[in-house]
Amino acid sequence: MDRIDRILVTEQELTPGPDFGTRVMEAVRREADAPPIPFPWARFVVGFVVAPPLLLIALWWLQPLLRSAFEGGLGPLWMAAADPRFVWAVTLLALSSPLVFWFCELARTD
């Protein structure tokens, strides 16, 4: 017989102490009485206010390029990638996510 097997065979059964149930229920009640975690309204409002204008600005910049893509197939869209408006729109979209996260960090209240 292996050493671990001998230990497992001869091991005594563990039983909880007499006040185990009482201590567990006290801990449950203590956690239940704790105040709830507040919803991060400041972060939500910042994202709700900042994201739509950034999206509208990006769509406004991309609107002529998207219209030409739908009218003439994908060829004009690939050629339009050199258009400065396209570059600005992509840059705006790329910068908007970190900006929203930065505003959320500023609004953090914890």
> Are 51 and 19 part of one and the same domain?
no
pLDDT at 22: 93
> Are 56 and 22 part of one and the same domain?
no
- Other CB atoms within a 10 A radius of the CB of residue 59 amount to 12
> Are 89 and 73 part of one and the same domain?
yes
Looking at the 3D structure of the chain, how many domains does it have? 2
CA separation, residue 75 to residues 66, 68, 83 (Å): 12, 9, 14
> Are 9 and 45 part of one and the same domain?
no
Among 39, 84, 41, residue whose Cα is nearest residue 65: 84
> Are 47 and 101 part of one and the same domain?
yes
> Are 99 and 64 part of one and the same domain?
yes
> Are 45 and 95 part of one and the same domain?
yes
| Interval 36-58: pLDDT, tens | 888 888 878 887 888 888 888 87
What is the span of the domain harbouring residue 46? 41-107
